[in-house]
Amino acid sequence: MMMNNEYLKLFLDSTDDELAELIVPIEKISGLDEFKSNKYGLSRITTFHPIATRMVIKDDGYYLGSRANHFVLLFGYTEHETWPNCIMLLTNHKGWLDITMFGLKAEVLKKEIFKESVL
């Protein structure tokens, strides 16, 4: 899987609010659900390869549909062909770990800078 350096730049250079506007959820699994996302108990999240990280800190706040104090975002890719460049969000609220995968919104993908891979 090829990484697109422009996606990485967008991930690292966007403000927290800008990033929240650029991505959409793909899949969410929770410790509350024993990390099962389908009837076979499997998740495509298991093939995720992280490349870069960032953290958003809020005082018991909400960000990207989750509630926590610390929101850890990992930029990377999965081996699943429909999830090339994506962002994993890790949060823990009241002892329950949540993992949410995000992809870039379709309109962002159409922009000229994202049309060819740098690698």
Q: Give the tens place of pLDDT for each residue, 39-93.
A: 555 556 777 889 999 999 999 999 999 999 999 999 988 776 666 788 999 999 8
* Local structure of 6: helix, strand or coil: helix
The pLDDT score that the predictor gives to residue 29 is: 73
Tell me the average pLDDT of the chain: 77
User: Who has greater pLDDT, 102 or 40?
Assistant: 102
Residue from 1, 48, 5, 50 nearest 26 by CA: 48
Q: Is the per-residue pLDDT at 22 higher than 60? A: yes
Strand order, beta sheet including 48-63: 23-30, 96-104, 85-93, 66-78, 48-63
User: Who has greater pLDDT, 32 or 81?
Assistant: 81
